[in-house]
Amino acid sequence: MDDLVVVGAGPYGLSIAAHAAAAGLGVRVLGRPMASWRDHMPAGMYLKSEPWSSNLSAPDGRYTLADYCATRGLAAEHGSPLPIRTFSAYGLWFARHAGGPGVEEVTVTEVAPRGDGFVVRTAEGPPLLTRTVALALGVMPFVNFPRVLRDLPPSHYSHSSGHRDLTRFAGREVAVLGAGQAALETAALLAEAGARPCLVARRPRLDWNTVPQPLERPLTRALRDPHSGLGTGWRSWVWSELPWAVRRLPAATRERIAATALGPAGAWWLRDRFEQRVPVLLSHHLHRAVAVGERTRLGLTTAAGESVVLDVAHVIAATGFTPQLRRLGLLDAGLRAALATVGDGGTPQLGPRFESSWPGLFFAGLLTAPSFGPSMRFVHGAGFTAGRLVKGVLGRLGGRGPLPGSPGGTRVDRAPAGYPKTYLR
């Protein structure tokens, strides 16, 4: 029986594994390394965050993005965006060098309670038994579509995370829904690939990040607008550097912060590329979508109440991700229903070391944002998460003694209140 199984091999999963291995835990990592970055972002995209705030986390602080770039003769400089392909390659390099176990590229189909631990089933082999589990599943289980698109045939619409190659839209009209970086960069890349995109946004204007201030600045400027892993300014600094303090806020406040802080905005380096080539419909609300042959007709309403019809070949929804426990189909339904949640959002309530109300079940990444704040929506949050989560695992393992080695574990008295104990046989 393993001490810890990490489900997910993105920045959070790989960082947790590196810390767990350094702590002497028997750990396994399941998933496709850097899958979201390698498989779900169009070629030509760039990393929006600064290189120094985009590191995976190793216990000794080594194996940074700058370290990787130095081995390849690349520059990881403040104010100079890096291609997504470079960041993906960095994650694979980190997985090989940072001391974690080799990633097992399997598809996890179920995580369920078993005795005092868990059984993890995969599509490729026999089930695994483990004392603790860390779910670091990234964003893909939480893809969000506007409700009005869901009755369209699947070929008529897609999510911005569903494309690696946008050249198939060359010569075609594409409506891109959204106002954040994913929408703006997808639209720009579509135009550069020969498509005819149009951005549709409910917001009355597009926001653009400014060129980052130099790292070396006069003290007065640094105090007025401190740098942080999530941007410049005191509010960003708090979200970036004090997730533990965010967790102490009332649940409703944390949910609001997670949902609204660091709202949609485009990178400064994208603005010229976008504005020169992409028409925009601002303050337009999508209320209807109808398939007409192979095309899609969108019914829009302006802020003044006027109706607009947009006829396109395809719709790409760059409408983000909605973290909700109910979307985790791989998590046993009974276990999922038993978890304490944060407010009305349906995300897990977590202790200070990322453990859920079910002993031994830990979470990392997007699902933890309503507990620890917006830093958990970004790679930067892995540095706060990994070491603390592993300390939580060590505390859990040290507090309950050895487990039976057979699947028919005992000590069902540890089941959370309200959960049927007979299930744990």
Cβ within 8 Å of residue 292, ≥6 positions away:
311
Quick check: 412 pLDDT over 50? no
Write the pLDDT tens digit of every residue in 367-410.
Answer: 999 999 999 999 999 999 999 999 999 999 995 443 333 333 33
Q: What is the pLDDT of residue 400?
A: 47
What is the reported pTM?
0.90
Q: What is the pLDDT of residue 417?
A: 38
CA 273, 275, 278, 282 dihedral sign is positive
Choose among 128, 163, 166: nearest CA to 39. 163
Tokens of 283: 């303050």
Cβ within 8 Å of residue 102, ≥6 positions away:
29, 95
What are the boundaries of each domain within the chain? 2-142+321-424, 147-208+265-317
Neighbours of 59 (CB within 10 A): 17
Whole-number Å distance between alpha carbons of 56 and 64: 7
pLDDT class for 231, splitting at 50, 70, 90?
A: confident
SS3 content of the chain, % helix, strand, coil (to 5): 35, 20, 45
The class that CATH gives domain 2-142+321-424 is alpha beta
Domains 2-142+321-424 and 147-208+265-317 fall in the same CATH topology: yes
Residue where the block lists tokens 């550069």:
192
Whole-number Å distance between alpha carbons of 66 and 60: 15
Choose among 186, 203, 182, 204: nearest CA to 195. 186
Residue type at position 288: R
Write the pLDDT tens digit of every residue in 335-361.
Answer: 999 999 997 769 999 999 999 999 999
Write the pLDDT tens digit of every residue in 164-187.
Answer: 999 999 999 999 999 999 999 999
Q: What is the pLDDT of residue 262?
A: 87
* Superfamily classification of domain 147-208+265-317: FAD/NAD(P)-binding domain (3.50.50.60)
Choose among 345, 186, 181, 188: nearest CA to 263. 181
